[in-house]
Amino acid sequence: MCGLLFFALLLNANYVQFLNAGKYRDSQYNPRRLIEEYDRERGEILVAGTPVAKSKPTGGKYNYQRVYPQGPKYAPITGYYAITGSARGIENVENSILNGTDDSLFASRIVDLFSGKPARGGSVLLTIDPKAQDAAWKALRGKEGAIVALDPQTGAVLAMASSPSYDPNDLASHNPGDVQKAYNKLIKDPDKPMLNRALQETYPPGSTFKVVTAAAALASGKFSTGSRLYAAPTLDLPKTNKSLPNEYHRACPDGGGDGRTGFEKALEVSCNTAFGSVGLELGEGVLRQYAERFGFNSDPKLLGSAESVFPRDLDEPFLAYSAIGQYDVRATPLQMAMVAAGIANGGKVMKPYLVQEVRGPDLSTLSRTKPKVLSEAVPPEIAATVAGWMVNVVENGTGRKARIPGVQVAGKTGTAQQGKNDLPLAWFISFAPAQNPKVAVAVVIENGSSDRSEIGGGSLAAPLAKQVMEAVLDQ
């Protein structure tokens, strides 16, 4: 029996010290890990070569202090790293690189050991365009909402801003009590400053979803560019006495004398009855299929992003509302930027990414992200047709305030109902230049205005998208 007990102790010692060593070493409750990490210079998070998160020497008990030079502007991206062991954003996702424990840094650790140099973490270079990020941050000042800008050809995130935001420096204190106090205050704030609205909040996308419906209609083969669509003031819905109305209960311009309208005009004036009727004819399966090709109902796997949803098992009345981005359709600003980028990129939706390069302490490149096609949402000729219709929205329709002199812009406005007593959301998705797109943008503003004509005309969201697009194009 004693022999068996000694054997059990031997097994347990091996289990703790070898098999489970990593778990205990990396535990947030291990004070030695924290002391070791703060004795080592944590790597930088870089934007165009400039640190947006870095460590500075302190000379105190903990040798280094984490600092965020531009605080709230980059907080939704960088996140924070706290002495309590909690972390968010890039600080969390790339923690093993930044703290120097990643397997890819093994050779660097050996060199430092034999050379006597202090151990250091690696650095992470982001895809963010600092001009675009600055424009997005300034555009959102005083508003609640988010902006995402993507490179349509690669999926690289050029800007990601969420407002209101928070200062991660408040969570970088070496005093655990101060960190917990600051964290509790932020969590209890009703404005939710720690919520990354660009990735982690889903909204009804409203009329911006009509871009998906239009693309699905053409790709399905049930409609063509010359199809004439229902344009009456209201659309009677099957299986109910309810109806789907146009804004102000007006008929959409027919342009052909037959009381109907074409796709281009329907998108230009954002005709609800036209797209509601298209949704009913396409059916739930077809509409969901193309929504999923643009990225709905899947996790983009970017900093804990939420999944955008196109619902299943829809009754026909709800299908009509879903075709115009209402009912249970929910989308993040990232998702709607992916829709715009997919149309801009000839129908190919690229996987979004934030990390351009991972570098060792000696600045050598350890890895570089390669662009990856997520899906081919629609054929190139259909994407080109829808892009032309979106250009018309900006030049002649509801998106006029996104015009950029000398640059052809494609876009789509959106107004989305949130509830009976809530103010509607203001949306705008766009890309530019229309013929050779360099940037795709999605903007959402919460609780915009009770003046629906103001929102429908793109007065709130379109000018913000314009500022970001100009920042990217003015290189």
- Report the C-alpha gap between 258 and 260 in whole angstroms: 5
Q: State the catalytic residue, choosing from 207, 270, 305, 430.
A: 207
Spatial CA neighbour of 244 closest among 230, 265, 254: 230
- Report the C-alpha gap between 361 and 145 in whole angstroms: 37
DSSP 178-235: HHHHHHHHHHH-TT-TTS-TTTS--B--GGGGHHHHHHHHHHHTS--TT-EEE-SSEE
Sheet holding 439-445, edge to edge: 157-163, 145-150, 439-445, 425-432, 410-416
**How many other C-beta atoms are found inside a 10 Å radius of the C-beta of residue 472?**
20
**How many other C-beta atoms are found inside a 10 Å radius of the C-beta of residue 240?**
11
- Report the C-alpha gap between 73 and 110 in whole angstroms: 37
In three state form, how does the secondary structure of 318-372 look?
Answer: HHHHHCCCCCCCEECHHHHHHHHHHHHCCCEEECCECEEEEECCCCCEEEECCCC
Cα–Cα distance list, 430 to 252, 381, 396, 414 (Å): 23, 19, 15, 11
Cα–Cα distance list, 387 to 342, 346, 350 (Å): 10, 9, 17
251 residue type, one letter: A
Given the DSSP bridges, would you call strands 439-445 and 260-262 parallel, antiparallel or unpaired? unpaired
- Whole-angstrom Cα Rg for the chain: 26
453 catalytic, yes or no?
no
Classify residue 407 by its DSSP letter. B
Spatial CA neighbour of 219 closest among 58, 77, 89, 380: 380
10 Å CB burial of residue 15 (0-12, 13-18, 19+) is: exposed
Q: Which residues are catalytic?
A: 207
